[in-house]
């Protein structure tokens, strides 16, 4: 076991239950603060000290106005690989799925929300609109889990994750302004921005509605996003908005009804 792998803890039974009850859960010290610090150092090498020196690569990065992202960082950096492809993260994903099935790693990226007071020319500080990840997941079954790991301190003012509690029970709601199309969402409880220490994380399901406020500080908000799906999931041929996902799909040459197993990296099971 590498040092990085030993710095990732197992999720608890209570955390699994909270995810299925609320659609999201906070995981304190999912990775050690020391490991978070090493990842932050590596992230700054890839994206610059302010997280704004990485230009979106055509067909790989999203290039959206909500954050500055760098996809596939684990494929290019062994420290990130030891976490994203490590067996402990895979075991955590399987436990959160609540199924004894193999686990595939489907996405990993650095997501840096530039502060409005940072003085950066990189305009990626808009609030992240409330959405469901399911829109970008043409898979035929539940089980997707997305870990959002803080590499540095994230305060309320920095655009921490916000969730609509129990919204995972609503199913697919579509590529629309959710609150305008479904005014009943106003009656559902939503969290304030979740504050995180280095190494803390949140995890949510594919149907959980989530978003963020703008980063209203002079510092970048550093996060690592890692997502997993069950090995037996099949590709539906459905819509996706992400250029990175489109490029990955083209490379895999998936057809509707194909399984992802053998095409994405298996990390557990």
Give me the domains of the chain, ranges plus CATH numbers.
3-248 (2.60.120.620)
Supply 19's token pair: 């995810």
H or E, element range at 69: strand 68-71
Closest CA to 48 of 107, 120, 117, 108: 120
Q: What is the pLDDT of residue 61?
A: 86
What distance in Å separates the CA atoms of residue 230 and residue 94, rounded to the nearest whole number?
8
Q: What is the pLDDT of residue 243?
A: 61
Per mean pLDDT, which range of 103-107, 158-162, 178-182, 256-260 is the poorest? 256-260
Longest dimension (CA), the chain: 50
Q: What is the pLDDT of residue 242?
A: 62
Average pLDDT over residues 138-157: 96
What distance in Å separates the CA atoms of residue 114 and residue 55, rounded to the nearest whole number?
13
Confidence of residue 127 (pLDDT cuts 50, 70, 90): very high
Distance of CA 204 to the CA centre of its chain: 8
Asked if 23 and 133 touch (Cβ cutoff 8 Å), the reply is no
Q: Which residues of 207-219 are buried (b: 16+ CB within 10 A; e: fewer)?
A: bbbbbbbbbebeb
Asked if residue 147 has pLDDT above 70, the reply is yes
| pLDDT 10s digits, 63-88 | 888 999 999 999 999 999 999 999 99
148 — phi, psi (to 5°)? -120, 100
Average pLDDT over residues 224-230: 97
SS3 content of the chain, % helix, strand, coil (to 5): 30, 25, 45
Give the Cα-Cα-Cα angle 74, 75, 78 (nearest 5 degrees). 60
Q: What is the pLDDT of residue 244?
A: 64
């Amino acid at each position: 076991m590498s040092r990085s792998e030993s710095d990732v803890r197992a999720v608890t039974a209570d955390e699994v239950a909270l995810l299925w009850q609320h659609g999201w859960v906070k995981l304190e010290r999912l990775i050690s603060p020391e490991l978070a610090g090493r990842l932050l150092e590596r992230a700054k090498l890839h994206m610059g000290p302010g997280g704004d020196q990485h230009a979106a690569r055509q067909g790989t990065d999203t290039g959206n106005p909500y954050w500055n992202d760098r996809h596939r960082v684990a494929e290019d950096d062994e420290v990130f690989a030891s976490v994203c492809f490590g067996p402990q993260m895979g075991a955590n994903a399987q436990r959160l799925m609540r199924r004894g099935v193999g686990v595939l790693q489907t996405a990993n990226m650095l997501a840096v929300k530039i502060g409005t007071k940072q003085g950066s020319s990189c305009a990626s500080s808009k609030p992240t609109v409330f959405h469901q990840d399911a829109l970008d997941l043409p898979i035929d079954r539940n089980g997707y889990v997305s870990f959002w790991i803080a590499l540095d301190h994230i305060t309320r003012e920095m655009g921490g994750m916000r969730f609509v509690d129990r919204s995972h029970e609503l199913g697919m709601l579509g590529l629309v302004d959710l609150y305008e199309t479904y005014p009943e969402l106003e009656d559902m409880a939503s969290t304030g921005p979740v504050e995180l220490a280095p190494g803390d994380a949140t995890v949510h399901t594919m149907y959980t509605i989530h978003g963020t406020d703008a980063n209203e500080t002079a510092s970048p908000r550093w996060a690592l996003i890692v997502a997993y799906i069950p090995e037996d999931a099949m590709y539906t041929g459905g819509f996706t908005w992400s250029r990175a996902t489109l490029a990955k799909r083209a490379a895999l040459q998936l057809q509707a009804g194909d399984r992802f197993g053998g095409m994405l990296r298996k990390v557990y099971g």
